[in-house]
Amino acid sequence: MASSFDPVGVFDSGVGGLSVWKEIVKILPNESVIYYADSKNCPYGSKTKDEVIALSENIVDFFLHQNCKLIVVACNTATAAAIDYLRDNYPIHFVGMEPAVKPAALSTKTDNIGILATQGTFQGRLFRETSRKWADGKKMMIQAGEGLVEIVEQGKAESPEAEALLEKYIIPMLDKDVDQIVLGCTHYPFLLPLIKKIIGNRATVIDPSPAVAKRTFDLLALQKILNESNKNPYYKFYSNGPAPAMKKILAGIISSDFEIVQADK
Ligand code: DGL
């Protein structure tokens, strides 16, 4: 039986899920949160569904050993490949990443929506179903952001290399009159300064992370396992491989001291 004092587990293939972690701790300041970066196996985007399921299972086992009360799959690609399987096979609640097609479809004035995500996310059931449900009658420009995850992992989110790739992916969307661009990968919010520079005021960028944090809050409340006490929430960060950018990214989003623990699996 989960206790309200147990931690929330958040994972991603690497540092991307920290963009979700940041939103979670903002609206759930009493919660202890354990973050796991599967840096050794990053990126997930080019892996098969079965590979991503196996990797996600490893991490879920790790979280269960730490008594996590809820797990946030802070990775669109892992959500697409594995969340159905995880929900069917583990006795714990999961929150996944929603491809934010709905808010984009509701806000567009040009009826043209752009989605930047990994190949794995575009291949998933969630993306297919959400698009069918919400984007009927809209034109969707989907673009795999190849290379972007690696750039963020290497700490080069503001490099000329990042800018060149983003221009290649985003300018064709703007040329097609896209006025909403969905960030369908949790690594991409770290590229926002460059994305905004390229877009200017020609389109709105949609990051689903705040909505995912809100869903985490609601699910904890619904299960009656919200931590109501603000005594000593702790944050732990694990990575199982080299994560050159993790320290710098964390330093930019956390005000307390932190340590990145090397995970052995
Ligand atoms: N942050 C992951 C996502 O949201 C990155 C995927 C990858 O590792 O390729 O999809």
* CATH number, residue 254: 3.40.50.1860
Rounded Cα distance, 200 and 9, in Å: 36
CA dihedral for 115, 148, 42, 210, sign (positive or negative): negative
The domain boundary, picked from 162, 186, 207, lies at 207
Instruction: Kindly list the strands in the beta sheet with 260-262, ordered across the sheet, starting from the edge strand earlier in the chain.
Output: 93-95, 70-73, 8-12, 33-37, 235-239, 260-262
Distance 262 CA to ligand 1 centre (A): 20
Q: Is the pLDDT of residue 135 over 80?
A: yes
Whether residue 75 lies in the annotated active site: yes
Same domain for 199 and 107, yes or no, is: yes
pLDDT at 114: 98
Whether 126 and 80 have beta carbons less than 8 Å apart is answered as: yes
| DSSP secondary structure of 65-126 | HTT-SEEEE--HHHHHHHHHHHHHH-SSEEE-PPPTHHHHHHH-SSSEEEEEE-HHHHTSHH
Average pLDDT of the segment spanning 55-71? 98
Same domain for 215 and 85, yes or no, is: yes
Same domain for 110 and 193, yes or no, is: yes
Same domain for 148 and 190, yes or no, is: yes
The domain boundary, picked from 183, 207, 231, lies at 207
HEC-encoded secondary structure of 36-58: EECHHHCCCCCCCHHHHHHHHHH
Whether 76 and 121 have beta carbons less than 8 Å apart is answered as: yes
Q: Going by DSSP bridges, is the β-strand pair 235-239/204-206 parallel, antiparallel, or unpaired?
A: unpaired
Q: Ligand 1 atom 8: the closest Cα is on which residue?
A: 43
CB atoms within 10 A of CB 98: 18
Q: Is the pLDDT of residue 164 over 80?
A: yes
Average pLDDT of the segment spanning 137-151? 97
Whether residue 185 lies in the annotated active site: yes
Mean pLDDT, rounded, of the chain? 96
Average pLDDT of the segment spanning 98-106? 94
pLDDT at 97: 97
Does residue 202 form part of some domain?
Answer: yes
Split at pLDDT 50, 70, 90, the class of 232 is: confident
Q: Which one from 10, 75, 149, 194 is the annotated catalytic residue?
A: 75
78 CA: nearest ligand 1 atom = 10
- Tally of residues, the chain: 265
Ligand 1 interacting residues, C-beta cut-off 6 A:
12-13, 16, 42-45, 75-77, 118, 121, 149, 185-187
Does residue 250 form part of some domain?
Answer: yes
pLDDT at 264: 82
Same domain for 154 and 27, yes or no, is: no
Does residue 12 form part of some domain?
Answer: yes
Q: Is the pLDDT of residue 63 over 90?
A: yes
Average pLDDT of the segment spanning 148-160? 97
Distance 229 CA to ligand 1 centre (A): 33
Split at pLDDT 50, 70, 90, the class of 147 is: very high
pLDDT at 206: 98
Same domain for 164 and 198, yes or no, is: yes
pLDDT at 1: 74
Average pLDDT of the segment spanning 90-114? 96
The number of distinct structural domains making up the chain is: 2
| Element (DSSP H or E) covering residue 140 | strand 139-144
Same domain for 116 and 133, yes or no, is: yes
pLDDT at 174: 98
Same domain for 216 and 185, yes or no, is: no
Average pLDDT of the segment spanning 91-109? 95
Strand partners, 117: 144, 184
Same domain for 216 and 170, yes or no, is: no
Same domain for 116 and 195, yes or no, is: yes
Does residue 3 form part of some domain?
Answer: no
Same domain for 221 and 197, yes or no, is: no
Distance 38 CA to ligand 1 centre (A): 11
Burial of residue 236 (CB within 10 Å: 0-12, 13-18, 19+) is middle
Same domain for 132 and 187, yes or no, is: yes
What is the residue range of 193's domain? 101-207
Question: What pLDDT, in 10s, does the model give residues 170-216?
Answer: 999 999 999 999 999 999 999 999 999 999 999 999 999 999 999 99
Does residue 109 form part of some domain?
Answer: yes
The domain boundary, picked from 207, 225, 254, lies at 207
